[in-house]
Amino acid sequence: MYQAGNNAYLLSEGVSVWLITLAVCGAAFFYIVSGNNHLERAVRCGCYDRDRIKGGQWWRLLTVGFTHIQPWHIAMNMLALYNLRSLERFFGHAYFALILFGSVVGGSILEYSISRVRFSVGLSGGLYGLMASYILILLTYRSVSGLRSIAITLVLNLVINFMPGIAWQAHVGGAVTGLVLTEIFLLTH
């Protein structure tokens, strides 16, 4: 990975965005699965609910990223987040958060625009944004070995795209958002 000479790229003291995100997702997951009606609890935690978004609850375009219902889903998403955490060192806390959460919103907007699904959950749009960002950085700095390191995460996530009930629109919207935000970062830094 590219080593920047500017200290703005380095992590400062304190807890990282990826770790805070993991903790919030974990807390929301345990709340959601601790009761009988998981979907109702996910709605309370801010999952994507098309009807509520249409009614003005636009914040759900972001908070969907913190909600998960199935153990395999949160496990896969948190593993992907952990594997992509090095981007926080490259970008710094603020820009890493912008790419992660901007990609969640970008994915949700595309899902809202072209899908009629009422409910969805998960951080996948943000993770696709980070994966696209990582690939763009590796291509920009010509790191073939780095491309091999993300290959497994990318292949697993692409396979999941074709499973029933997966919001592929959020994945595509997140990836495009991540690419755009990363290109802006690379052009301005």
Confirm whether 73 is a catalytic residue.
no
* Strand-pair category, 48-49 with 119-120: antiparallel
Structure-token pair, residue 112: 């809202």
Q: Which residues pair with 48 in a beta bridge?
A: 120
Confirm whether 124 is a catalytic residue.
yes
Helix 124-140 and helix 93-114, axial crossing angle in degrees, nearest 10: 120
Q: Determine which one of 103, 108, 124, 133 is catalytic.
A: 124
Tell which residue, 85, 92, 177, 80, has the closest CA to residue 124.
80
> What is the residue type of 91?
F
The CA distance from 34 to 117, in Å, is 25
The CA distance from 137 to 20, in Å, is 24
Task: Judge contact between 129 and 177, C-beta under 8 A.
Answer: yes
Residues annotated catalytic, as ranges: 124, 171
